[in-house]
Amino acid sequence: MPTKTLAGTPVDTDEEGFLVNHSQWNKDIAAALAAEEGITLGDGHWKVLDFIDTDFKEKGAVPGMRRMNKVGNIPTKDLYALFPDGPIKKAAKISGYPKPASCV
C-alpha cells in the first residue's frame, strides 16, 4: 500500500491517491489533497466536503450527484465550478473518502 506525506504527515493511500484510512484525514490534509488537484479550498468547497462527511457517516457511501442536489442543496453547476472534471470523484478524494463505487 503506497504511503505519502501530506501536510507533513504520512498517510496511506490507494493507487489513485485516495486515503485508505479516514482517521488520518484532517483539514490540512484536505488542503494538500486539493492542491494536488489545483484547487484552493474556500467556503463553497467546504460546504460540499462537509456534506460528504455528514452523509458518509450516515449512509456509508459517498453521495451521488442527485443526492448532492436534493439532500445537500448543492446544484450540479456549482459542483463543476468548484471541482472541475469529475466533481464527485475529486470531492470524495479531498474529503478523505474512497473513490465512489462504480454504479451497477
CA distances from 46 to 12, 13, 50, 65, 101 (A): 23, 22, 6, 16, 22
Answer yes or no whether residue 104 interacts with other proteins by CB under 8 A. Answer: yes
Name residue, grid cell 456549482.
78
Distance CA 102, CA 51 (A): 20
| Site pattern 19..58 for other proteins (x: CB under 8 A) | ----------------------------------------
Distance CA 50, CA 57 (A): 11
Span 82-101, contacts to other proteins by CB under 8 A: 84-86, 101
Answer yes or no whether residue 76 interacts with other proteins by CB under 8 A. Answer: yes
- Residues forming contacts to other proteins in the complex (CB under 8 A) are 64-67, 69-71, 76-77, 79-80, 84-86, 101-104
